[in-house]
Structure formats: structure tokens, C-alpha cells
Amino acid sequence: MAQAFERVVICGLGLIGSSIARALRKHGLAKTIAAYDRGDVPARGLSLGIVDEASDNPAIVVGADLVLLCVPVGACGVVAASIAPHLDQGCIVSDVGSVKQAVINQVAHHIPAGVHFVAGHPIAGTEHSGPEAGFAELFDGRWWLLTPTPDADQAAIDRLRATWEAVGSKVEIMPPDHHDRVLAITSHLPHLIAYTIVGTATDLEGHIQQEVIKFSASGFRDFTRIAASDPVMWRDVFLNNREAVLEMLGRLHEDLGILARAIRVGDGDTLHDKFASTRAIRRSIIDAKQA
């Protein structure tokens, strides 16, 4: 059974951060929940009742036994530097970024001795953002990947595992570089394709663009949902996982070349074989309850 934290501070009260706050409260896993953010977000978090305290002052992390970096990947290092002088000995620091090696490179050297950093990534989300968009059930049945460095504290890893399992997630440990290659194909490349396809539609002549919107089939609608995701977050993902994304983009380019040739020369067998093989992946995703 997961042990409740005395004081949790969530740095960044967007969709993921506010959903974590709600999930921790729902399952009784934090006695006090605070938020560190800027602008009007702290006040919005307080008015929604999802946090007990909120501030734009990094000193709010004083006394925390768990601090979560729920900001875009490119901001993790800056936030870690701002809170580092205020972290208590024994505190666990984690994050929720979709890229792991870059986050570790940015954050780890800011973490004081006696504070335990364990990078993480909940594979969950929607196209919505902001503290109002969160909900406690976001992580139900979803994977929460932990990517600790070899010197990470085992007790901290175990406690995070127990906590994320308690909010409904399935937890797995993997090396950060492996995480980045896997997510490049399962998450990052699909988002890049979605942004590109919807961007192409945006650049069409006005009357055609209106018909594209009017007669959108389910495939295009799915792309627009993905392409509506937070642009700052995804800009940072691509910039911080560029090598893995470019590798997968190269493979995609090769596969598109094969399909383009098959269409050009009327090679129906190649098209059929390719489409039949991809159906198996869809069935596997459904069987794994990740659809």
C-alpha cells in the first residue's frame, strides 16, 4: 500500500499537473498539495480547490517530500534551478516529460545532495490544457514509465512506483535512452505527422479548405485532435528528442517511398500486404487495452 506524502508540490498546474493533484487527493496520497506556477494559474488552482496552497515563489517547495516538474521539457532545467536552494533533504523530485534523457541532462546537476531525482513519464493526456482540464481518472490503466539513472535511490523509485500504481497506473522501469526511442515512434512521430497534415489543409485554397472541414472523415478528425495539443510542449519535445525523432522520420520516409512506388506502378499486392500487416498492430493495441 502506498504511503501518503506529507507535502507535495506540483510545479506547473496544467493538464497533467492538475490531474496529478486531483488523483493524489482522490486516493488520499498527499496530506498537503501545493502548486508553483506563474501568472493567474496559482489563483485558478486555489479557486478550483485542487491545491491547498499556490504561489509563484519557488520557496513554496520548502518542506516538501515530493516535488513534481509538470512543465514543458525545455523548462525543466530552469524550474529545477529555481527550486533547488529550497529543497529539503530526503525530498523526491520527479517529472512528467515525454523526453527523458534531455530532462535528466537538464535537471540532475541542479539536484542537491540528499535529494532524490527519479525521472518519469505518464503516458496519458488529452488535447486540452490548463488547470481546468485535469481530472483524477486520467491515469487509470495507463502506463507510467520511470527512467532512473543508475545511481538513483531505490527507496525513492519504489515509493514512486507504489504511488503511481495507487492512482491507477501501470508502472514500468526502463533506461531513458530506450524510452526516448520508443516514444519517438509511438507518440512523437504521430504528433509530427498530425501537425503536418493539418498544416497542409490550412494552406489549401479557401474553398477547398472549407470543404475539407465540412466533409472531414474520422481519419482527418483524429489528426486535428492530436494537432490541437499544446504547441509549446510539443515544440520542446521535438527539440529535445531530435535524434530519435529524426531516426524514425527517416524510416517513415523509406516506407512512404515503397508505398508511393506501389501506387505509381499499380502494385496492389504490396499495398495489400502492407495494410494487412498493420492491422495486427491495431489488434495488439486493443488486446493490451491501450486503444
Residue 38 CB coordination number (10 Å): 9
Residue 32 has pLDDT above 90, yes or no: yes
Looking at residue 123, what is its pLDDT? 96
Task: Say which amino acid occupies 86.
Answer: H
pLDDT tens, 83-107? 999 999 999 999 999 999 999 999 9
Cell of 133: 482540464
Higher pLDDT, 224 or 267: 267
102 close to 240: Cβ distance less than 8 angstroms: yes
Residue 291 has pLDDT above 70, yes or no: no
103 close to 119: Cβ distance less than 8 angstroms: yes
The answer for residues whose C-beta is within 8 angstroms of residue 176's C-beta and 6 or more apart is 100, 101, 104, 119, 147, 149
Residue 33 to residue 21: CA distance in whole angstroms: 7
Of 64-78, 142-156, 273-287, the poorest mean pLDDT is in 273-287
What's the order of all strands across the beta sheet hosting 5-11? 53-55, 30-36, 5-11, 66-69, 92-95, 116-117
190 close to 226: Cβ distance less than 8 angstroms: yes
Residue 130 CB coordination number (10 Å): 14
- Residue from 40, 37, 110 nearest 70 by CA: 37
The length of the chain is 291
Residue 72 has pLDDT above 70, yes or no: yes
Percentage with pLDDT > 70 across the chain: 99
Domains of the chain, with CATH numbers? 5-174 (3.40.50.720), 178-287 (1.10.3660.10)
pLDDT tens, 201-258? 888 877 788 888 788 777 888 888 888 888 999 999 999 999 999 999 999 999 999 9
**pTM over cut 0.85:** yes
